[in-house]
């Protein structure tokens, strides 16, 4: 028999979640969990709107970090060729095309451990140019100092992505070249600069159920809930350490989305990487569980993403519309 559910306090933003409470959410009967997640979702968001983002790799490959899931790590033999930082004009041309396709947020990722100040200035030009197009801006550049976060804020950056990836306990099995505390320090610099935080994790990396609980607990007990919470399903890449991982069960993935929605009621929960391996039915369940953001475009940094035409058809079948700025 399932344990009684944690107290359901409608509309209350909590930072005092315990692991035991989150664990009990994960073990609720599926229908009860989805009902609770959908109830929380409707209290805070329009039920049938999904925020549309586009992600571009502005500097690919050659990263000195050893993240076990990443094709861009110099530690892995994946056949990916490293490239230099893109020109500002090329990035802005891509952003214009993304806006024409319905994206309201434009995300730029660079495969760095941390940006050099001279490269950061080029990224700031990109941010300013994308903002001038009327889009929200997001970048993921690795670890930041406080001064670098302030510089990005002055350029008008809206969001900074820096995922915690997994639970504190499992983290060392995924990455050894930076610590969990390094991640938290960058998140603190971003918050202190007044930039919105985009922070989530990856499931399907061989972690235990307790690690999914620990990941959600770590996110939900931050001083401020991330404004965006991407939940990624591992994209297995040949040549990476995690390339042979067993895929996560679709129902377990939906449960992770639902628990994230309940624990962080006002965060935008993004159904991020891994959608190419999901059926329409699984994606529909994710939206029902409270996911309300996706990436559109045929590539996410270096991995495939569903065709925009397929997303449009899925949205039409579900009666979902793009969220306006």
Query: What is the rounded (10 degree) CA torsion for 322, 163, 227, 17?
Result: 120
199 is catalytic: no
321 is catalytic: no
C-alpha span between 173 and 242 (Å, rounded): 10
List, in sequence order, every residue forming a beta bridge with 54; answer none if it has no partner.
Answer: 106, 296
Q: Give the residue among 146, 114, 110, 143 at the shortest CA–CA distance from 127.
A: 110
C-alpha span between 40 and 36 (Å, rounded): 6
286 is catalytic: no
Which of the residues 36, 105, 183, 270 is marked catalytic?
A: 270
63 is catalytic: yes
Which of the residues 67, 124, 199, 286 is marked catalytic?
A: 67
Q: Is 290 left (phi over 0), alpha (psi -120 to 50) or beta?
A: left
Element (DSSP H or E) covering residue 96? helix 88-100
Residues near 7 by beta carbon (within 8 Å), at least 6 away in sequence: none
70 is catalytic: yes
The DSSP line for 199-243 is --EEE-SS--HHHHHHHHHHHHTSSS--SEEEEEE----TTSTTT
List, in sequence order, every residue forming a beta bridge with 43; answer none if it has no partner.
Answer: none
Which of the residues 70, 124, 199, 286 is marked catalytic?
A: 70
The DSSP line for 126-164 is HHHHHHHTT-EEEEE-S---HHHHHHHHHTT--EEE---
Which of the residues 36, 105, 138, 286 is marked catalytic?
A: 138
76 and 238 in contact (C-beta within 8 Å)? no
Which of the residues 36, 105, 107, 151 is marked catalytic?
A: 107
Which of the residues 36, 63, 105, 275 is marked catalytic?
A: 63
124 is catalytic: no
Which of the residues 105, 178, 198, 275 is marked catalytic?
A: 198
Where in the sequence numbering do the catalytic residues fall? 63, 67, 70, 107, 138, 198, 270
């Amino acid at each position: 028999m399932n344990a009684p559910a944690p107290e359901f306090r409608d509309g209350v933003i909590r930072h005092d979640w315990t692991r035991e409470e989150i664990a009990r959410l994960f073990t609720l009967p599926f229908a009860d969990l989805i009902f609770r997640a959908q109830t929380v979702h409707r209290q805070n968001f329009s039920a049938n709107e999904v925020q549309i983002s586009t992600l571009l790799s502005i500097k690919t490959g050659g990263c000195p970090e050893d993240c076990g899931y990443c094709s861009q790590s110099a530690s892995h033999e994946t056949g990916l060729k490293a490239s230099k930082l893109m020109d500002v004009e090329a990035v802005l041309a891509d952003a214009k095309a993304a806006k024409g396709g319905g994206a309201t947020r434009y995300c730029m990722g660079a495969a760095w451990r941390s940006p050099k100040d001279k490269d950061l200035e080029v990224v700031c030009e990109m941010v300013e140019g994308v903002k001038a197009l009327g889009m929200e801006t997001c970048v993921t550049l690795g670890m930041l100092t406080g001064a670098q976060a302030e510089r990005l804020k002055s350029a008008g950056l809206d969001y900074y992505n820096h995922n915690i990836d997994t639970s504190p306990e499992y983290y060392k099995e995924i990455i050894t070249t930076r610590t969990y505390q390094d991640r938290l320090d960058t998140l603190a610099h971003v918050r202190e600069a007044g930039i919105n935080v985009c922070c989530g994790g990856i499931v399907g990396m061989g972690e235990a159920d307790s690690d999914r609980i620990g990941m959600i607990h770590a996110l939900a007990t931050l001083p401020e809930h991330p404004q965006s919470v991407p939940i990624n399903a591992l994209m297995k890449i040949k040549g990476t350490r995690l390339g042979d991982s067993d895929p996560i069960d679709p129902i377990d993935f939906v449960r992770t989305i639902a628990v994230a929605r309940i624990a962080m009621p006002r965060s935008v929960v993004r159904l991020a990487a891994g959608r190419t391996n999901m059926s329409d039915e699984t994606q529909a369940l994710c939206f029902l569980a409270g996911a309300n953001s996706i990436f559109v475009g045929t590539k996410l940094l270096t991995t495939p993403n569903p065709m925009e035409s397929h997303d449009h058809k899925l949205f039409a079948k579900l009666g979902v519309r793009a969220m306006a700025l």
